[in-house]
Amino acid sequence: MAEPLRIALAGLGTVGAGVVKLLDANRALIERRAGRRIEIVAVTARDRARDRGVDLTRFEWVDDAAALVDRADVDAVVELIGGSDGPALTLARSTLAAGKAFVTANKAMIAHHGVELARTAEGANAALKFEAAVAGGIPVIKGLREGAAANEIGQVYGILNGTCNYILTAMEEAGRDFSDVLAEAQALGYAEADPSFDIDGVDAAHKLSILASLAFGTRIDFDAVAISGIRHIIASDISEARTLGFRVRLVGLAELTPAGLFQRVHACLVPLSHPMAHVRGSLNAVVAEGNFVGRLVFEGRGAGEGPTASAVVADLIDIARGEYGPAFAMPVDSLAAIGAAKADARTGRFYLRFAVADRPGVLAEITAAMRDAGVSIESLIQRGAAADGGVLLVMVTHTVSEAAVNDALGRLEGSQSLLGQPMLMPILDV
């Protein structure tokens, strides 16, 4: 049997404790699959006294995470600290520069600094692994980097944030508004006290930028992701979508187009015939469309102690076997630097919801704005009373550019007929 793979664990929150538990529970199986033992030799975290439900006394405690790299008895460092910069990035840079393997679940750091870290890893012939950074326990990074490596990927898209999917599913099931369900999700621990990164789409955008790089062989460009969240979705949007044969989901979608790389996170109407419409609760799903393999659908738990720890340990098994290559499936110098495609250049059908004053001429004003912008209306529904005393007007467009829809909305800006900001959601026609 080969010498053990000796690891240091930085960060002992939910996932860090989960890694310790998993290595203990499945130790014999992991050793057989890895071909050698995987042993934790040192750990670090901010609070030494905190009870994490696991025995840490057998490991050496190190107060300074940076000191882990210099230890002669450490072959690989697992970073579960979090944050795009700060101690996590310092640890990543120093670990890889020293030629030691580095495993992380840190999607923000990979989205912002992944190319730099991959280049350092290549120069030092060190492993950089981040399966746990996207979709928790779902092996989507391995699936794209290895399983679909021979395919040209046309699109990659998915439900990338479990908190948002939980909220939207609860709104469907109970007919409640966003704010009520968010408060419940926070009470149950599904949403953070400050849920902005989740509900405003930033967390999903980090993950999408990583998936796009793997799928298309391009450099990560997080800053080019058009991001919109779910704060302004109301119960009526959910019910109208159901009536029209759709469900509302927060979808991250990336596509390589002649105009450049399109990347967007946006609430969308997903047809009931599509598998993603049936991904419920806190589950995640990723879909990749390959030119030879066809549609690949990855679905499962995208966060939490068990799934994320599972992905971390899977990366460690690869390292123990010596099975790793370029972090983004090809050398950094082979990653294409592609310009960003404008989000509003995309064509498709769109859902529009207006709260309008209940008086004659309002419908004519809105349809005239659509006509003048070249937007053709496929269906139009007027229902009941809006919360602020008006009525709700919902329409679905024929296929049109998003720029034309935005032009129509611009023509209505400042109109006394509108009671609040209109809601625009693309329809996922894939």
**Active site positions, annotated:** 207
Could you give the CA distance from residue 202 to residue 196 in angstroms, rounded to a whole number?
A: 8
- DSSP-assigned beta bridge partners for residue 9: 43, 78
- Are 254 and 216 contacting, i.e. CB atoms less than 8 angstroms apart? yes
CA separation, residue 57 to residues 42, 46, 54, 113 (Å): 10, 16, 9, 34
CB 349 within 8 A of CB 427: yes
Asked whether the beta carbons of 29 and 313 are under 8 A apart, the reply is no
Q: Return the residue matching tokens 């369900």.
A: 181
Q: What is the DSSP string of 379-395?
A: EEEEEEE-TTSSEEEEE
Beta strands at 76-79 and 101-104: parallel, antiparallel or unpaired: parallel
Q: Write b or e for each residue in 269-296: b if 16 or more Cβ atoms lie within 10 A of its Cβ, otherwise e.
A: bbeeebebbebbebbbbbbbbbeeeeeb
CB-based contact 199:163 (threshold 8 Å) = yes
Q: At what angle do helices 235-244 and 162-174 cross, to 10 degrees?
A: 80
Alpha-carbon span 239 to 381, nearest angstrom:
12
Distance between CA atoms of residues 336 and 214, nearest Å: 11
- The phi, psi pair for 288, rounded to 5°, reads -125, 135
Cβ neighbours of residue 193 closer than 8 Å, sequence gap 6 or more: 186
Q: How far is it, in rounded angstroms, from Cα 143 to Cα 186?
A: 32
- Residue 406: C-alpha distances to residues 137, 223, 257, 359, 402 (Å): 38, 22, 21, 24, 6
List beta partners, residue 15.
none
Q: Which of 247, 230, 222, 168 is nearest to 195 (CA)?
A: 230
Asked if 108 and 82 touch (Cβ cutoff 8 Å), the reply is: yes
